Amino acid sequence: MATHSYIEAGIEEIVRVLRGSRVLTRQRLDEALNASDWPDGMFEAALRRAVEQGRVRRLQDGLLEIGSDEWV
């Protein structure tokens, strides 16, 4: 699978978890996704891309939430 596809799949997983939890710290998101089992750098790349795309928002105090367009 191409790196791009892994990143896109990672973004979908990040959004899925945040949709169910509303707001999480980066550490709790990492734990919820077992990101330590992901290929090296993939969690960071997927999270960065999700933020760039507006699918995830960074809040104060290291909190993360899904973007407003992601609520269903």
pLDDT number for residue 4 = 76
- Mean pLDDT in residue range 11-36: 96
Q: What is the mean pLDDT of the chain?
A: 92
pLDDT value at 44 more than 80: yes
The Cα 42–Cα 69 span in angstroms is: 24
- Mean pLDDT in residue range 28-44: 96
Cβ-Cβ contacts under 8 Å for 65 (sequence gap 6 or more) = 18, 22, 23, 24, 56, 57, 59
Give the CATH class of 3-70.
mainly alpha
- Whole-structure pTM over 0.85, yes or no? yes
- Mean pLDDT in residue range 35-57: 96
Query: How, if at all, do strands 63-66 and 56-58 pair?
Result: antiparallel
Q: What percent of the chain has pLDDT over 90?
A: 83
The Cα 39–Cα 19 span in angstroms is: 23
